[in-house]
Structure 1
Amino acid sequence: MINFLPQIYENELLYSVIARYQRMTGIVSKRALVEDLFGRIIKYYSSLFPQYIQSFVDLYILEIQEQFLEHFPEQYLKMMQSTIDPEKPSNWLRLFVRNNGKNRSPLRHLLFMQFLGVEVDELFLSDDIKGKVHVFNEHSPSFDIESRRLEWLQLIKENPDANRSQLKEKGKGLHTWIYRHDGEWYEKVTPRMQKRKKSETIDWKQRDKECLKMARNAVNAILNRNGKPIRVCPSNIRRVLGVGSWFNNEKLIYTNRYMQDTKEDIDSFSIRKIKWAIEEMIANGEELAPYKVQLYAGFGGGNKEVRKLIIKVFEDF
């Protein structure tokens, strides 16, 4: 329900009066504005009724938010449990300045009074009550420039490898204040993106020799490992060595050639698995049969090509 009306100027349009009213009260929703003004919802609006008031409100709230964040350092707001995310439409400050009927924290009332430069005694003891008045104040920073500089230098010290974008992200409110009010000093002390050092030249011939030796050791480890066999192939060689895809670099000529030469084809690997399964079953005193060997080796029972290989291995035995 409407509880005050802005001063109406001579020859002022209703559009202008309502727009100033919405801006003063902080009401965002047009539906809520109509209900606040007229006490009910109007389903059909006249073409003369204001329809584009939202931009006035957004501009007003954003201006308050920007000045508020310049006035108080982020660390201070964090200590007061009143941090503000400027990108969040529903942060506490935006909700605070709107006439939405919600309870407001006493602490945040005090913060906002401090922002406006109003003393508590002055607010409650004054007989000169004007109601809601639209006022723009020039706010001077609460904290001196030296303390801001020290805080920024400390942030740089704690993040020696951070570039400007990363420092800005870590100290959002502080960065904005320093950049705007102390830009020349900011440029002098804030590090720019460091150029990457050129990597040392690699002796690929020597690297190839070293990698070839590693690959041979890996193949021996695969062939002589205990338990169920694994296939000799480049991916398993890298896995045994614990190295990445760089091991396949085309400049490692002899290493790549060796890995391709030693790579097991499917039949060779299957025969090696079959022989392992037979030896294991004999050691465990189990009955040998092609079907049981096939299952023990992990091929499943329906692979006819593997069954032929098992029978061939049996004949060789």
Structure 2
Amino acid sequence: MACLPVPYPDELLYSVIARYGVYAGITSPKQLLDEVFQNRKIIASVAFQGHLSQISAHYQGNSDLTPYKLLQGHTLFPLYSPFVYPNIAAQAKHELLTDCRHSAEVQLGKAASKVKSPHYLRYCPFCVTAQIEQYGEPFWIRRWQLPSLSVCAEHGAQLINSPILISEAHRHQFTALSPNVLLHSTPNLTNSKITMITAYAQQLLNLPERLIHPAQWSYFYQDLAYQLGFVRGKHVLHELIANLVLGYWGSHTLSCFGIAVSKEDTNWLKCLFRKHRKSFSYLQHLLVWQACYEQKLDIANILSTASALPHAPYEDIPISTEPVVVDQTRRAKWQRAVAKFGVKGARQNGFAHLYTWLYRHDKQWLMQFNQSSAKPKIAKTGRVDWSKRDKRYVRQLILLINKAETQLGSSRHTVTWLVTHAHIPLSQIKYLEKLPLCKLFFNKYCETIEEYQCRRIAMACIRCIAKHQILRTWRIERMAGLNEKRTRPLASQLLGFAVKYEPS
């Protein structure tokens, strides 16, 4: 069993595993995975390191290092969990705590969020100096890796990007914070508002878990608008809210965060104060809270207040309704409009006011009449000329394969690769039965795994000869990214012929 070091306060689990690799003198990423997880396919995740029960087992029952405490104290999970559906947060938490595969980045909205995560691991040189003085070594901490916030809350300094790229290229590698990755540069100081919001984000990381339903956030923001006096009757005055937020932050700062407030009716700030049909990132919430409360902002109190609000959607909350008013004249006028234009067409052709009056005063009759008047949708056939489309697509594919055949270093020529690089929509793959020429093309030109391995071996041999290196099995396999277990028979046979070849 690996003897993992005890995590330092706020240290990422990514950093803990990387430090163990340094202590144990392990230079191979796969060997490190074997030691810690007994599995070579684990992905090194900065934000959400999974398989926490396995990591916790290395601490042999330490009550301070249970899987749940590792999740809350040493990953970025607390930054996302209060702002997604509770069932989604619970599912992501279950997958992270257990030894199964997880998709937390997708489930919690990190992958598709407007608030982008850093591309490089970041650090604060002042914090690194303090770490070395206190602990004798530097390590990666959570507050340096906050999405869209590149400021150290402790020192008010701009974080520095290390050379370590967070990407798919080295997804199995844990890299420790060492003098080798520290850059000799002086950080710039930033403004107090951004330092303050970073400090609030740090508070959010350290608060106890609260699962809050989007419906509860809807009621919270409706109440917040009422407290600010930005309502007229039941309607939220979105322009006043936008003026407040933009006046506090400025449009340039919001653009730098990647969440500019556009003039569209569906911009994120308006949607935040409407019924929540989707989740919003932690930064969008914090930006609004800080603009509204400024120095009086209490993150713990906000989460507590929101979690105590009702879960039920708007439709399930009893509201006062206006008495039913039967107006036969209006009914007849609406019936004539629907007969002429249809329900949707009537609203778009000058009868929207009539629809609104009937909805408010005679809703039950209106809904029943509209439902009975709805015309069945008949799917149109023959809208697509599949033969023409088939010929156009196959011409694009032929042009692509003519170029790709001379590029030995390209990726495996699968259906997806060919379709993507030929600029054909991926959705068309579903209709191959209607595209017989494309189907024949794929059957002929898509590479099998053996063919792809042979091409990689050929490319490796060319590189060896160009560098005047002797053709050796181990050298070709290393360059081609193959090994004895994965190499298919045909590729092994080609490799044997290549080793025997002696260039003149």
TM-score of the two chains, using structure 1 as the length reference: 0.40
If the length of structure 2 is used for normalisation, what is the TM-score? 0.27
Please tell me whether Structure 1 or Structure 2 has the larger radius of gyration of its CA atoms.
1
